[in-house]
Amino acid sequence: MPPMNRRDALKATTLTLGSLLLATNGVLAACDRAPARATNGVLDADEQDLAEEMADTLLPTTPSSPGAKAAGIAPFMNVLLTDCYPPEQQRLVRDGLRKFGDDVGRDFARKPRVEREAILRDLSSKAKAASPAPHWFAIFREVALRSYFTSEVGMTKALRYSLVPGKWVGCTPLKAGQPAWG
């Protein structure tokens, strides 16, 4: 075997160690990943289910676009709330959802749509009345809207999505019923 120079030895060592690192961190770590309904974060699985039902009442399925539940936004709502909101607001939303679940009951999803909408309208008016103090429902609604409109379904079905936009036109009138640009 011919002698190896230092550069070739470093390349071989780097390749070997890099492959080993990828195998242990990539392949083996993939086996430990949590399911899609991860319970780590601010909300547990029951609270995520309730949050998704509430979000689906706010953003229902229409003939032109799927709703929040069809977009599967609950796990992302949990991640967004956990990673992007301060602990006080996280606690406020979690405690608000828990109290809402206790008051309204976990059967929110089984109530007729009209009744669910009335309950959420009442919560919305309470949140507006509480202003400028933060109310959990105002934060919840913001998280639900962001989660939906940044999802693939929200971006491509509810909004008018253009992968490669053309020139910038700052003021463009919309036709009646035309969705906003995303």
Tell which wins on pLDDT, 165 or 110.
110
Going by pLDDT thresholds of 50, 70 and 90, the confidence category of residue 100 is very high
Q: Annotate 45-57 with DSSP letters as a single string.
A: HHHHHHHHHHHHH
Model confidence, pTM: 0.69
Task: State the Cα–Cα distance between residues 160 and 138, nearest whole angstrom.
Answer: 26
Mean pLDDT of the region 157-170: 73
Percent of the chain, pLDDT > 90? Answer: 51
3-state class (DSSP) for residue 181: strand
Task: State the Cα–Cα distance between residues 178 and 161, nearest whole angstrom.
Answer: 12
pLDDT of residue 1: 64
pLDDT of residue 9: 76
pLDDT digits (tens, 9 = 90+) for 135-159: 999 999 999 999 999 998 888 888 8
Q: List the one residue out of 136, 141, 127, 126 whose CA is nearest residue 58.
A: 141
Percent of the chain, pLDDT > 70? Answer: 83
